[in-house]
Structure 1
Amino acid sequence: MVTVATLVAAVAACGGPPTDAGDTTASAAPTAIENCGQRVTVTTAPRRAITLEQNATEILLSLGLADRMVGTSYQTDPVLPALADEYRTVPVLAKLYPAREAVLTAKPDFLYSTFTSAYAPDAAGPRADHAALGIPAYLSPFACENPADGRATMTFDALFDQIREVATLFGVPDRGDELVAEQRKRLDAAVATGTSSHGTSALWYYSGTSTPYVAGRNGVPAAISTLLGLDNVYGDAEQTWPAGSWETIASRDPDVIVLADLTRGGDGDSAASKIAYLKKNPATARLTAVRGNRFVTVSGSSMDPSIRSVDAVEQVSAGLGTVRS
């Protein structure tokens, strides 16, 4: 767990956008945290933030921080409907990751990504380089450059810690608490609904046809499997997203197949294309789940740690009830 080295000492009103009752968006006292092996220091609450991909974007928008954003990038799915209006007010810097020059041109005072790749030299550039320019660059603890510096296993408690930490850095801790409380309530309800799924074996099928990429340990699917009592048929894989084989999948014959519905348009990306392939491929057409149409669909982006991950728990919990009926 990342630790707060210097907590926010005070939040004093200094104008700015209207806020919710009980919360103040103001200049936070200097705050320094250890984040993925680097020190991230915020001298005042950011007001010119750039999010480098959609998961980070939707977390800031969910915290009501659209007016503090001067850029976003790398939209992988349609933005959540509840956030669409706010999203349209934020400049899009690039279809994929913005280059370092585009980032600096926007004059940010904070960068945020939930993927390490956003800070690659051929993308926005290393976090340390931005820190040297006085721009704090935050990275999700699930995606540290050195995995030993972060969270090896995704848990919802750790995801909620990240949301609270980001809210604190922006001087809106009350909003973080409120968002986490809402997410926690939905999570608990979904888990309670899905308790009858204990012992059900499941394949988490992410992408690909000739080589299927599936969920192994440590990621969002593993966390959901634990919460709902599912037996992940690739739970013995060391990697979070290993390359599977249809022969192994056939031998393990899952009761249910959870399909990632990806919008990028590649081979075996959409849920519909996955189902079509599973039904025509001789190696999979006789699977118990395929013969019984026991498919559960979740959005692809919800299978990464994000504000959508609770959506995935709800979708799987509800879907399991449907395919068992």
Structure 2
Amino acid sequence: MRTILIPSALLVVALSGCAAATAAPPASTSTGAVVTLQSCGLDLTVDSPPRQAVTLEQGATELLLALGLGDRLIGTSYLTDAVAPEYADAYADVPVLADQYPTAEQLREAGPDFVYSMRASAFAADAVGDRAELVDLGVPAYLSANDCEDPDLVADEVGFDQIFAEITDLAAVFDVESRGTELVGEQQAVLTEVADAAPQAEGLDVAWIYSTINGAPIVAGNAGLPQTLTELAGAGNAFEDLDAQWSETSWDEIAQRDPDVLVLADLSRGLTGDSADDKIATLRSDTVTAQLSAVRSDQLVAIPATEMDPSVRSINALAALSGALVEYAEVDK
């Protein structure tokens, strides 16, 4: 048995093939060159396709790059993880406004005609400021529906419908609807492949480990994307009873639940214990965790941390998980 460390983007290509699927219905309405839409309760009007867009964190940047819009970006910020290889060259050409979020002054100095983030924290007072203020200045500010300023506006279940709606929104805003339809179709084809393979993973329990705080592991509960990915892949979340996206637990608790598979976040920020390799080494060297079934069977799946949040790359995490579970299920027969 071997640890799965396959670059997940390759799995998407392998699974999707040449299949096509119907795109999700647009979440926006367009009249000529004008696009109107609602973003986390805020009405936005985009008079013409943006030419000077600024993205405030990595997820937003990579989605626009996936739509082929690198030449429309005049700034980005807040790189939280390694850029996906397929976007690396285009990302390198985008000016970085700040290591984390830019200030309101830095943003206005850049002169954007559109601002986009997948995280509400980007629009805090100590970052670029309130979205409504940007809109009043004539700059549409789009925020992902997965992280609205008002938590009541966020859907209880995190899934691909929201991701596809966001892709469709942004494709309409930038007048690249055909590319948006193509991108959604590619990802829907992967969902179909995963659904076909899901029965093979039935009976397998998965625990997702993000990082540790003072030695205590942080695991995925039932309120985030890992829960959705686990269900789509046909397995069960060993910590489904935790009503949280991520929650602190103990190694003893993980040992008691003894999941069949461990999914390990591969963080590239450089802290000790963040990388998947560091996590695997720790699991194998500790007397408690070395006895876990997943460790003894080497049923460990490394997934970039960025892909564990809703984004254009979430489909990669699903493909990687599904492929690993199918392999493990075959061995366990």
Q: Give the TM-score normalised by the residue count of structure 1.
A: 0.89
1:256 and 1:93 map into 2 onto residues whose CA distance is 40
Residue correspondences, number: 306
TM-superposed deviation, 1:298: 0.8
Residue 196 of structure 2 is aligned to residue 174 of structure 1: no
Residue 14 of structure 2 is aligned to residue 9 of structure 1: no
TM-superposed deviation, 1:3: 8.4
Task: Name the structure 1 match of 2:84.
Answer: 80
Out of 186-195 and 210-219, give the one that drifted further.
186-195
- Deviation track 1:224-274 (CA, whole Å, cap 9, x = no partner) reads 111112110111111111112222211111011011111012243111111
Do the aligned residues in 2 keep the contact of 1:200 with 1:230 (CA within 8 Å)?
A: yes
Residue 55 of structure 2 is aligned to residue 33 of structure 1: no
Higher relative contact order (CA 8 A, sep 6+): 2
Task: Name the structure 2 match of 1:320.
Answer: 325
Q: Where does the alignment leave 5 or more consecutive residues of structure 1 unmatched?
A: 11-27
Equivalent position amino acid for 2:30 in 1: V
Identity %: 44
Do the aligned residues in 1 keep the contact of 2:194 with 2:232 (CA within 8 Å)?
A: no
Equivalent position amino acid for 2:193 in 1: A
Out of 263-272 and 234-243, give the one that drifted further.
263-272
TM-superposed deviation, 1:4: 4.8
Task: Name the structure 2 match of 1:108.
Answer: 112
Task: Name the structure 2 match of 1:244.
Answer: 249
Secondary structure of 1:8 counterpart: strand
> What is the Cα-based RMSD across aligned positions, in Å?
1.9
Alpha carbons of structure 1 residues 2 and 120: separation in structure 2 relative to 1, 3 Å = farther
Equivalent position amino acid for 2:31 in 1: A
Residue 208 of structure 2 is aligned to residue 211 of structure 1: no
Residue 135 of structure 2 is aligned to residue 131 of structure 1: yes
- Deviation track 1:19-54 (CA, whole Å, cap 9, x = no partner) reads xxxxxxxxx22x222211222221222111101111
Q: How does 1:118-267 map to 2 (within 5 A)?
A: 118-208=122-212, 210-267=215-272
Equivalent position amino acid for 1:59 in 2: L
Task: Name the structure 2 match of 1:45.
Answer: 49
Alpha carbons of structure 1 residues 179 and 3: separation in structure 2 relative to 1, 3 Å = closer
1:167 and 1:174 map into 2 onto residues whose CA distance is 8
TM-superposed deviation, 1:288: 1.0
Do the aligned residues in 2 keep the contact of 1:279 with 1:290 (CA within 8 Å)?
A: yes
1:192 and 1:266 map into 2 onto residues whose CA distance is 38
Do the aligned residues in 2 keep the contact of 1:111 with 1:136 (CA within 8 Å)?
A: yes
Equivalent position amino acid for 1:271 in 2: A
Task: Name the structure 2 match of 1:288.
Answer: 293
TM-superposed deviation, 1:194: 4.3
Out of 51-60 and 36-45, give the one that drifted further.
36-45
1:112 and 1:60 map into 2 onto residues whose CA distance is 10
2:302 and 2:326 map into 1 onto residues whose CA distance is 13
Equivalent position amino acid for 2:321 in 1: V
Do the aligned residues in 2 keep the contact of 1:142 with 1:152 (CA within 8 Å)?
A: no
Secondary structure of 2:31 counterpart: coil
Q: Where does the alignment leave 5 or more consecutive residues of structure 2 unmatched?
A: 1-23
Task: Name the structure 2 match of 1:306.
Answer: 311
2:198 and 2:87 map into 1 onto residues whose CA distance is 28
Greater helix content: 2
